[in-house]
Structure 1
């Protein structure tokens, strides 16, 4: 958001975007096409509202004020506003003017496995089971550019099991720039990082084969590994003290005979821990010595929040490693585009494994990601600012309302991993629902059980929503401490992100 172009007014009025700022956003879009001027203006306004350049809840300039800056008549602007009201992108109320909004998702905002929307702006339930952000600014424009390119691909079958060459080249270039030399032929584009992990499981995981995983870890990967027949070997990660215990990891590898491992070295999910360069070298030495092939999850690698220089890729120490990544965390989960980087000698093996799952990610979304990577640094700056603001709001609220909860503030990623004063995470997840918060209890992240003394709190929602979470959690924790809730009521909930 351009803070110089908006302001907060007394009396609870929505923030205002100036007519000059609106004109600068829509001007290039209004000039395109042969449609009537009112339609082009409506389309342009709809686009900048939909992709977040004019945030939902922002008060738009009056029709009279906008006419001069956009160079259109008042009748034209009035007709454009009327069209947007009819489509649900503008809400006009007496006394508060016209406010930008995004129409409700057709069919509702709740999926049977997670809520695609936080539902939180007006006091309704806030879903904290998902580490994901809304779409970045410019997404609609990226789709439009992709649509212009799409005819080039329509004469073919549409199947690209390895991914579009242009996207694979961009992904390979980013690996190389970070210190892991990569050719496009080493990259397979998948339907998200989880699909990349499932692809890696084919050649690496046999029935009842031991696979080393950190504890805690990402729940959906636990399900994927178990579905592939793996026997999980949990290596504890102590986030409040030393993070990765390398001697303990070596002992776990020796005792289990594991020949595969799944690791999240970059802003680990759920703890937020970041493996430093020294630990990376030591972990790699242990894995190389034992002949362990690592699946390295870099889904959160680009979400550093302190401007720090990042360690080199763990894969640079492990020539046999498979590295997976995703556009879901840094761009948007709805794109469903991820990737796998394979060692040169095993590309065909992993490509064959991929074909047992599906025949490729959608062409349109691959084109969109390719265009978004053109302005990736700009998008990352926006994403990091949003996450940093949310993290700081949540940390400040916890310090005020729940000072006996322990948390080490992560330098990146999307969630806090909180140590409770006593076990009760499962009961807390139950109690929090009656206070308008949906949580993932600690045991969901425990591949070997336990962890009822921990809870993950994502900070990916807007800061103004997160600011009210700690007070709600304090009330819920009081219910737990006073024995007002039974954890047996928690039920099963699949953790999506």
Structure 2
């Protein structure tokens, strides 16, 4: 029998200030908050618009507008003649309110994004790539696995990090996300259990859902990974594929130690799990940290596949990434790629190959810049939000904040009204979890970070909706 909530019951849960403006928006966001924290369960039929309007003492049009807003955001599902039920949107379908798809020049402070500005070494690399580019016009202009100079540079970097690697083991992609999609095409079938960390990189959840996989989340406590939790999840779920971020984890900033890395690979070997290891942040240590080996250094039977990217170290506009795997997997990925995009941009590959020559200079630059912005962010939070709880990471690009208030989504909306886009914890969790969390990047300048925190503090004072509306968002391209 369907569960149902009457208008009087829902009105009692809502407890909305009659003076809230606009009322329909407050109503929609309060219902959304009830759903996210579990007080209003999923798949419960909500009262008809007329009945809720009577219980609240407002017009039916107000309730209709609120319900429409909830449907757009994915928190209500309706069927003609049958009513409406509470729901949770897919993590990959965050709707028109999703700041990820905001226009680049909409005037908002982009604290939803952890991508840093371009490194100082980029212009010289672009110039060098321009000089060598004409030589490549004598050939067909693309290579599905990537151009030789870049594959060699990536392989050499792995060797410098203590992992012997041949260029034949490198497959160049259009970014780490593109690489993850290709690996999912190759290794993940509908219904397969797919182990991921919680929280995790949001697009890993997107990939799992797109492939129809069964997501197996493993929580990461505040002190980092617990090997027994990972091991038990592998054994109990029989997951044949897992996605992990051991290097300055996004969003927590944790760095996995070598003992845990060795134990994780050993467990994967015992339970026949292939590990996809995202190393996007691996070069971005800020403080002195113990030297760790790439996870693949503990691999003895080819079950660890590594993902890397140029976007965080050098610039987000460089859509170049790479996969380190066995040569057989590289050939398989090249075949799959023929159905997608054939090859990565030749010019950008030349740029990244040149950038590898000055990688230590860029790492030092990032260490200085990210370190200063991290200090500015921590200082500003201590001044404006002393009740927020977080651990300062030794690298990476963001703080993972535990909020005293229950709704990061409501705070994100309030901050948008003050001109700041935020990434609430729900983006990084499965099925609406992590609502009480917020990811705050320190990849922006000191001035932006400091001003953004002041505006967030103002948003908390003004309440859930601020005094002005955020500019409209544009569809993702």
Match of 2:355, SS state, is: helix
Choose the corresponding residue for 2:457, options 474, 480, 484. Answer: 474
Corresponding position: 1:260 with 2:248: no
What corresponds to 2:357 in structure 1?
A: 374
What does the per-residue CA deviation read over 1:41-91, in whole Å, with 9 as the maximum and x for residues that have no partner?
A: xxxxxxxxxxxxxxxxxxxxxxxxxxxxxxxxxxxxxxxxxxxxxxxxxxx
Q: Which moved more, 1:151-160 or 1:224-233?
A: 224-233
- Dislocated runs of 4+, deviation >3 Å: 114-117, 489-496
Q: Do the aligned partners of residues 423 and 492 (structure 1) sit closer, same or farther apart at CA in structure 2, a change above 3 Å counting?
A: farther
The residue aligned with 1:180 is 163
Is the counterpart of residue 170 in structure 1 residue 138 in structure 2?
A: no
Partner of 1:113 in structure 2?
Answer: 101
* TM-score, length of structure 2 as denominator length: 0.74
**Do residues 447 (structure 1) and 392 (structure 2) align?**
no
In the other structure, the counterpart of 1:71 is: none
- Deviation of the 1:495 alpha carbon: 10
2:445: which partner in 1?
A: 462
Partner of 1:222: 205
Aligned counterpart for 2:285 among listed residues 295, 304, 316: 304
The C-alpha deviation readout for 1:441-475, integer Å capped at 9, x for no partner, is 11111124311100000111101211122222222
1:267, distance to aligned residue in structure 2 (A): 0.6
Residue from 275, 294, 297 that aligns with 1:294: 275
Measure, in 1, the Cα distance between the counterparts of 2:151 and 2:118. Answer: 22
Contact preservation (8 Å) 1:115, 1:127: no
**How far apart in 2 are the matches of 1:129 and 1:298?**
20
State the superposition RMSD in angstroms: 2.4
The aligned residue for residue 201 of structure 1 is 184
Aligned residues of 2:119 and 2:362 also touching (Cα < 8 A): yes
The superposition leaves residues 137-188 of structure 1 with CA deviations (integer Å, 9 ceiling, x where unpaired) of: 1322222211111111102111211001010001001111112211000000
Q: Is the 8 A contact 1:201 1:228 kept in 2?
A: yes
Q: 2:265 aligns with which of 284, 291, 310?
A: 284
SS of alignment partner, residue 180 of structure 2: helix
Equivalent pair of 2:417/2:465 in contact (CA under 8 Å)? no
Q: What's the counterpart of residue 115 of structure 2? A: 132
CA distance in 2, matches of 1:333, 1:220: 16
**Residue 219 to residue 495, structure 1, CA distance change in 2 (3 Å):** farther
* Partner SS state of residue 273, structure 1: coil
CA contact (8 A) 1:205 1:228 kept: yes
| 1:245 corresponds to | 226
Residue ranges of structure 1 left out of the alignment (5+ in a row)? 1-110
Mark the CA change 1:492 to 1:279 in structure 2 (over 3 Å): closer, same or farther.
farther
1:325-340 equivalence runs, <5 A? 325-340=308-323
Is residue 191 from structure 1 mapped to residue 179 from structure 2 by the alignment? no
Instruction: Tell me whether 1:423 sits opposite 2:406 in the alignment.
Output: yes
Distance 1:347 1:383 in 2: 31
- Name which of 240, 250, 269 aligns with 1:269: 250
> Does the residue aligned with 1:296 lie in a helix, a strand or coil?
strand
CA distance in 1, matches of 2:422, 2:444: 13
Match of 2:339 among 356, 374, 377: 356
For residues 292-349 of structure 1, the C-alpha deviation after alignment (integer angstroms, 9 at most, x for no partner) is 0000000000000013343111111133111010000001111100000012443322
